[in-house]
A and B are shown apart, each in its own frame.
Chain A
Amino acid sequence: MNEGLLRGLIPAVTAALVRRGADFATAEDAVQEALIQALARWPADPPVDPKGWLITVAWRKFLDATRSENSRQAREARVDAEPPPGPAEETDDTLRLYFLCAHPSLTPASAVALTLRAVGGLTTRQIAEAYLVPEATMAQRISRAKRTLAGVRLDESGDLATVLRVLYLVFNEGYGGEVDLAEEAIRLTRQITSMTDDPEVSGLLALMLLHHARRAARITPAGALVPLAEQDRSRWNTELVAEAVSILQAALARDRLGEYQARAAIAALHADARTAGETDWVQIVEWYDELLRLTDSRVVRLNRAVAVGEADGPAAGLAALESVEPTVPRYAAVRAYLHERAGDVRLAARLYADAAGAATNVAERDHLLRQAARLNAALRP
């Protein structure tokens, strides 16, 4: 059994312990201990029933942790007497665990950490490595999150929207460390699609797959960003694109449009173009308008201005940019691009340099510096 399959069992195992009467925080710790034991033991000695093994070991760890012989006996008696849950019940409990880990009372960073551990089945060390903090710090972040949730009942634990937001955050975190967070987010989103029929889950899954499909083309071996228009489209993963498009079409057909479906539709239109020149920008602008109706976000407004610039020319793009606040990240970069296309190279060069100064990550800063250098070189006699 590979690690991904093992980790796929984790939320159901935690849910099983909670159903037997364990509190979430202690149950989750017990499952983490069982997981670490499984990672060490299974390669040499795989169990016949992996899930049963995990539940048994985790339950024993839970009883050890609670240390009360009386309550132990009482609990054992209850477990023996209780009928096994049906598949639907089990699915509901597992889904509630997702809701709990993304509970609105948690900060986004805490929700991300707890989701990756309790639902994703990652070890604290792996999560710490992915977020470049010491393991002790991450352990504290997770136990604080669990303390915040003390008293929240599993059946009143939140909603799908917060779960999707957390998974999108994980996906966006990128590709550092031993654990591939983008793939992890995709795996967890896939798991939820099998538990609910909300088309927004499909929308998010399609969106992630479409971006994941372009991964190999996004960055040069030296780590430089390649903008969408310059990517080698033969390196896009067509299987992932095809899967995403069919997931998205099925979701859109249900006529309950949401933010993630609209974003995925935009990504799908990009994926659909064999060359950058064939991109259907008019339809992309329409989807941005739709997206703005669903979520009045400053970033969406900015991206819409780019699309308008492609569909109706740079002057129209600059006009659309006038309704965007200049404090939005990447505002200067977009302005630089539109001015370059409008022919004002001198202004564009200066704006690219400004944008590089405002960039918050190195790959983007270097990309913008290269743009400024390219224009400045062209300006020299």
Chain B
Amino acid sequence: MAKYLLLKHYRGGPAPVVDYPPMDQWAPEAVDAHVRYMVDFAAKLEETGEFVEHRALLPEGAFVRYGGEGKPPVTDGPFAETKDLVAGWLIIDVDSYERAVELAGEYSAAPGPDGHPICEWLELRPFYSDAPTVVE
């Protein structure tokens, strides 16, 4: 098994293929359907034994770094509008890369304002694994 991170972005990544308004402009039922799709998807993954973790992030935040001896940390934020902005993640534990791609594709098919898939770009990233006992 290998673990993969599926990153959702508020902004950034390749150009969207479906043009849709922000969620606050959707019909309430469309919002419900979208949210339900996400919840059902996680539940389905748990049922298949592939679910690890699912978290969402607020769109706010800042960059922070060490400011030097005896000085406070330096912050840079709020984020610029142009910046790539992570919205949350889903971690899965699957048999193969092919399976990870299949699941990411499915996750990206969450319905939009018109009920059709929004085809959101998801960033798929493998985790490093633990070192095996036997190598030589």
Cβ B135 vs Cβ A330 within 8 A: yes
B 107-136 binary contact with A (CB < 8 Å = 1; else 0):
000000000000000000010111111111
Interface residue? A211 (CB, 8 A): yes
When A and B form their complex, what is the total count of cross-chain residue pairs whose Cβ atoms lie within 8 Å? 77
Cβ B48 vs Cβ A109 within 8 A: no
Q: Give the interface SS of chain A, mostly helix, strand, loop or mixed.
A: helix
Cβ A361 vs Cβ B132 within 8 A: yes
Q: Which residue of A140, A176, A207, A364 contacts B46 across the interface (Cβ within 8 Å)?
A: A140
Interface residue? B69 (CB, 8 A): no
Interface residue? A325 (CB, 8 A): no
Residues on A with C-beta less than 8 A from B134 are 171-172, 207, 211
Cβ B49 vs Cβ A140 within 8 A: yes
Cβ B129 vs Cβ A361 within 8 A: yes
Q: Which residue of B3, B45, B47 contacts A132 across the interface (Cβ within 8 Å)?
A: B3
Asked whether A134 and B52 contact (CB < 8 A) given A107-B95, A140-B47, the answer is: yes
B 41-63 contacts with A by CB, 8 A: 45-53
CA distance A108 to B132 in the complex (A): 16
Chain A interface residue count, CB cutoff 8 Å, equals 38
Give the nearest-CB partner of A181 in chain B. Answer: B133
CA distance A164 to B95 in the complex (A): 20
A166 CB to nearest B CB, Å: 13
Residues on A with C-beta less than 8 A from B133 are 171-175, 182, 211
Cβ B130 vs Cβ A133 within 8 A: no
Q: What band does the interface of chain B fall in when counting residues whose beta carbon is under 8 Å from A?
A: 20 to 34
Q: Which residue of A133, A136, A211, A359 contacts B93 across the interface (Cβ within 8 Å)?
A: A133
Interface residue? B1 (CB, 8 A): yes
A 237-267 contacts with B by CB, 8 A: none
Interface residue? A96 (CB, 8 A): no
Residues on A with C-beta less than 8 A from B1 are 109, 131
Cβ A140 vs Cβ B136 within 8 A: no
Most chain A CB neighbours (cut-off 10 Å) among B95, B126, B129, B135: B135
| Chain B residues near A (Cβ < 8 Å) | 1, 3, 45-53, 93, 95, 126, 128-136
* 12 contacting pairs across A/B (C-beta < 8 A): A108-B95, A109-B49, A134-B53, A137-B46, A137-B93, A140-B49, A142-B49, A172-B134, A174-B131, A225-B131, A303-B136, A362-B131
With A137-B49, A173-B130, A360-B128 already in contact, 17 other A-B pairs whose C-beta atoms are closer than 8 Å? A109-B1, A110-B49, A132-B52, A134-B53, A137-B45, A140-B47, A140-B48, A171-B134, A172-B134, A174-B130, A211-B133, A211-B134, A270-B136, A360-B129, A361-B129, A362-B131, A365-B128
